């Protein structure tokens, strides 16, 4: 969008910024008030879960030139799908065996009364640059947690975590450490326990990781 003077000539960037500072009416109309993207996403998931616009951008283009590096992760989007009765029963019981025992007389109406989720939620995040050695594991963990937090907020079950990366790279001084990581023992996946019902008031101590087991320290140096 171009902002123009009364004579039809466009504002320069400097003129536009100065106008925002000196003209309250102009600032009220065109100033950046900020957008709560997470609140909008949660609202859309609750009210329009089949939307193809369940997206959040992590970039603020007007601030890029103020950063040492632009964000590696520049956005994520969500997808939902409705479960049929069989899948809802399996999720409710926690396993196929229990669903055979306890789920024979269960109906969607009964599950609705229990406020058991009807849908599953998947999250796909995109990165412009990916440091496989030091960064990717933290990216996976943070977006996995985000998927659980949003799922809890909108009463859905976490489903798939999907990753798309550009410039995916391994630094030469990380190769040996990554080989050690690939040959280390695998452990059972931990579970996430959230003790706070609202994402707005969530605190660090409200998040519990149950059953996590480490394979020990694998050292990697920072690379530029």
Quote the tokens at residue 128.
Answer: 């412009």
| Longest pairwise C-alpha distance within the chain | 78
Residue 58: CB atoms within 10 A of its CB come to: 15
Q: Which of 132, 138, 151 is nearest to 192 (CA)?
A: 151
- Residue position matching structure tokens 């579970």: 191
Residues 6+ apart with CB under 8 A from 78: 41, 45, 54, 55, 121, 122, 123, 124, 150
Q: Residues 216, 172: contact at Cβ < 8 Å? A: no
43, 80, 101 from 87: Cα distances, Å: 25, 14, 15
Active-site residue flag, 72: yes
Q: Residues 10, 2: contact at Cβ < 8 Å? A: yes
Phi, psi of 119 (to 5 degrees): -130, 160
Residue among 20, 38, 55, 72 flagged as catalytic: 72
Q: Which of 123, 120, 171, 167 is nearest to 147 (CA)?
A: 123
Opening angle at CA 64, ends 62 and 70, nearest 5: 145
> How far does CA 61 lie from the centroid of its chain?
20
Active site residues: 72
């Amino acid at each position: 969008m171009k902002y123009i003077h009364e004579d039809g000539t466009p504002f320069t960037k400097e003129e536009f910024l100065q106008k925002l500072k000196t003209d309250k009416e102009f600032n009220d109309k065109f100033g950046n008030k900020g957008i709560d993207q997470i609140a909008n996403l949660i609202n859309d998931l609750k009210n329009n879960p089949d939307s193809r616009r369940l997206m959040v951008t992590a970039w603020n283009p007007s601030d890029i030139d103020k950063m040492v590096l632009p964000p590696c992760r520049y956005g994520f989007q969500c997808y939902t799908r409705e479960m049929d009765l069989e899948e809802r029963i399996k999720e409710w019981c926690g396993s196929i065996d229990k669903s055979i025992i306890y789920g024979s007389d269960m109906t969607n109406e009964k599950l609705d009364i229990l406020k058991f989720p009807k849908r599953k939620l998947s999250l796909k995040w995109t990165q412009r640059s990916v440091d496989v050695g030091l960064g990717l594991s933290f990216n996976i963990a943070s977006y996995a947690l985000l998927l659980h937090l949003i799922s809890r907020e909108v009463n859905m079950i976490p489903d798939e975590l999907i990753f798309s990366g550009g410039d995916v790279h391994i630094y030469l001084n990380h190769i040996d450490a990554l080989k050690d990581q690939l040959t280390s023992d695998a452990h059972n996946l931990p579970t996430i326990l959230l003790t706070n019902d609202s994402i707005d008031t969530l605190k660090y101590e409200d998040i519990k990781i149950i059953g996590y087991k480490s394979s020990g320290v694998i050292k990697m140096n920072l690379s530029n």
